[in-house]
Structure 1
């Protein structure tokens, strides 16, 4: 509690220093100390957004990380503030090596016994941890990501303080609710819990490596689990140039345009095929290696999309590409976005205005990311809350488009998106998982149909017992019985034929070898059997049943 009160005092001092004492005066009017400090504040000619950024830097790692996260929420904050917050990415002071030594030796043992060389100056420093390069005794070059000492306790305390302040700000100034400060802080809290666990980040890297094992041009670092834990992660060292370094890529002898396409296709696969994607694709986390691969690091921040929602996200992006505002609104509703009926027409008009002029554009002439950004901007204008996964998806696509713009000014977002998503839809409909799901549905349907005679018999017994007061003549009962019986026969024949076709298709689709011998003949026999059953059903419907109907 003492530490928290001290931290409150530090935050108050920084706010007063950068000219935000008025906010303290609003949320804590009885604090005479703050009022005195506020009176001593000298005029600052720097913009309010620059002062906010400088204040976050002075408050330390938690505030810097919060500012970095807020910089990605372009739909909720003023663009001038976003531009200032983006400058926070490279402003973290490294922790002295001596302060990290206890953590290193806890996980790796004595440095002289484990490493041939350990570089004391970090190759990268971030708000949660920093990365050092080292060489193991066997000559393997590794990157060691080490968490800052006591950072988890500091972040936990700061997060509580930020949550309290956000609630107070929204309470004393209702206009701030439009920026959803409490929602922003809640997202930050969840993100920080994930990023503080280096074990989770290592598992993410393993999942990405598995998902892209058949993509030789894509690289994710190998994790050395015998030296890793919740506060230290040892991984394969990846050497290269940042993905936005056009001149560096050319010096390596590669065409930057190749990586514009490759990066975009990689993220489309992550999102729409795997449902497991990296949500922080800024150029500092993506490299082009010496051997020409596109490599990804810093994998703590991820998002997942369940298979049943993936198709909805595909429809959303396709509807954006095709400027189909009706479908955009429909998919929004399926994703849980609540739109007031009174605002519906205005929202559609604004969406159409934002997108209609963009179809077929090239990045060189129109800002693709800006067109996508206009969608959450429109919703925010009507104070409509956007699901976190949807916002992450749009943000990632916008950032990847920005990288594409840097590497290839003629990169065409629509030309790349349409054919890829169409192919993904085909894969989803004809995948083994889809066949498996369809087979389960067929089995359930057949089971339900097989129960129909029993249900019908039970119903007739209840009628016979007088439990139903229905006026119906015997002829009607006979006709009803006949109709149910014939319908059951037709459904059963159709389902059996469908099950045979799907079963044979699953065998053909999932086999990894060429068909020969008995397996080929067996599959042909199944298809022929299904054909005969289907033909028999058609003949029965056209000739047998039509003649029987004359009796009734």
Structure 2
């Protein structure tokens, strides 16, 4: 994004960065990206030979991944974030981006010391009983050192690299302004709202630079799972945490992506996969927020058999509606309900011009593929990927949190099968899906829906008299000019009150019909709930017929007069 009041030096630095990006793209043989992105306007393409010839065995997707790694932290973070958005990128590119590496040479210990002491206002020796000078891990934004507090606790201290915020902000500005230029001058994005997606990822990257935000994410998950004996989330040590220094409990285990070390340690990979996925399912389908960096390198197999989580810079937030829509899709696939599946996809999408007939046909093909299978035999990764394909092909423009659910399910099943080739994601997910369906069909939940609908109707009714009164007062004061002369004010007020009463009655009847209809359509509801819904619906329709009949009779009598 171009910043107002930029100095000539800043503009020159941005121009030079554009030239650097073009150079890296050319070296990776991605001239087509340079052309498609409109980067030629920043100067000619370097004429040196690319490092990767176009006819080599290296795929375009792998070259894109390698390019992002070479361009630095902001590009790596955006690539990692978009790897789960297979509603806007191809599955092949998503797979390549999921392998992005963020390993760079560490800063010197003197630099680390200076950052910690400047942030915490005390010497390193006053803050920690021991501090390892050699980092345990090093990435583009920060590096992690193991340390010991004076109470004997082993902690991981994450220290941000000096100057990284300026580098990231520069690249965010370049990327977002480039996306806006392409959106305004080309049709390269089609129906995808690329500007909103770019802004979303820019916000996510900025949040990763704020270690207070990451600490809050870690604290939230630690509180939710502190009594769960199958997983471990590190506790935050707030006394030694700032926006650039983060101190968490040290988790001493083997990273999940180191399979040989896992086997040497005697870890049960099948149990680890099940525990990790169970934890994610609870986060996504119950809590509504989850650890969004689903890279296996962010999980540890602890000596006591628990699964440890680390790196909380990225969190996913899922609305209740998106969670329920996802369950609706799964339920529709199981029950061969084309209408429910199509309606759900259209409801979550943002494309009023979608071809409903063609979409229904494609949904029917997809559901037929899975119909007849038991829940435990459905490949959720395959199902989610095909749904994302429909979303992409029909430009449905679904909310990011809904796409995140589908994309994350694909990633999670891949992690599960990496740990255990026999891992069955659907069998693990079955209890959670069944639980959500049953909860939505419970009398308490259905009653809550009815109360919310009734409450909304009552709020509308409460506002009607005040609104009508304001309009009439303005009319009586001459503040509103109309083309007719108002006479018989008392009669008008009486008729208006009658109309308000009729409208109130109609809204209440409509709320009753909706409430009882929801009882009938509730998936998996008990028989007595369906019975109550039928009786109530017939009664509500009877009242509505009487109501509209009385209106018609009143009009006929008025005409006779």
* Alignment-derived partner of residue 158 in structure 1: 171
From the superposition, tell whether residues 314 and 77 of structure 1 become closer, same or farther in structure 2 (CA, over 3 Å).
Answer: closer
Q: 1:303 aligned to 2:313?
A: no
Match of 1:4 in 2: 14
Q: 1:292 aligns with which of 281, 305, 316?
A: 305
Could you tell me which of 212, 221, 224 is aligned with 2:237? 224
Give 1:181 shift.
4.7
Conservation of the 8 A alpha-carbon contact between 1:362 and 1:411: no
Residue number in structure 2 paired with 1:125: 138
CA offset at residue 266 of structure 1? 1.6
Q: Aligned equivalents of 2:444 and 2:138: distance in 1?
A: 45
Query: Where do residues 123-522 of structure 1 align in structure 2 (5 Å cutoff)?
Result: 123-170=136-183, 173-177=186-190, 181-245=194-258, 248-307=261-320, 310-338=323-351, 340-341=353-354, 343-358=355-370, 368-427=380-439
Shift of 1:150: 1.6
Q: Which moved more, 1:390-399 or 1:228-237?
A: 390-399
The question of whether the paired residues in 2 share the 8 Å contact of 1:286 and 1:296 is answered with yes
Is the Cα contact below 8 Å between 1:71 and 1:86 reproduced in 2?
Answer: yes
* TM-aligned CA distance change 1:150 to 1:344, over 3 Å: same
Question: What's the CA shift for 1:283?
Answer: 0.9
3-state SS, counterpart of residue 357 of structure 1? helix
Cα-to-partner distance string for 1:50-83 (whole Å, 9 max, x where unaligned): 4433332222212222222233333333444334
Cα pair distance change 1:321/1:271, threshold 3 Å: farther
C-alpha displacement of 1:221: 0.5
For structure 1, the 5+ residue unaligned runs are 450-462, 471-483, 492-552
CA drift of 1:425 comes to 4.1
TM-score by length of 1: 0.72
- For 1:60 and 1:299, locate their aligned partners in 2 and report how far apart those are by CA, in whole Å: 20
> Any idea what the Cα deviations from partners look like across 1:515-535, whole Å, max 9, x if unmatched?
xxxxxxxxxxxxxxxxxxxxx
More deviation, 198-207/2-11: 2-11
Bigger radius of gyration among the two: 1
Task: Give, in angstroms, the shift of residue 427 of structure 1.
Answer: 4.5
| Distance in 1 of aligned mates of 2:390 and 2:456 | 44
CA distance in 2, matches of 1:422, 1:376: 23
User: CA RMSD for the aligned pairs?
Assistant: 4.1
Structure 2 length-normalised TM: 0.71
User: Alpha carbons of 1:102 and 1:361: their partners in 2 closer, same or farther (altered >3 Å)?
Assistant: farther
Cα distance between partner residues in 2 of 1:446 and 1:16 = 63
Partner of 1:531: none
After TM superposition, give the deviation of residue 355 of structure 1 in Å: 4.6
Establish whether residue 112 from structure 1 lines up as the match of residue 125 from structure 2.
yes
How far apart in 1 are the matches of 2:213 and 2:174? 26
Deviation at 1:445, TM superposition (A): 9.7
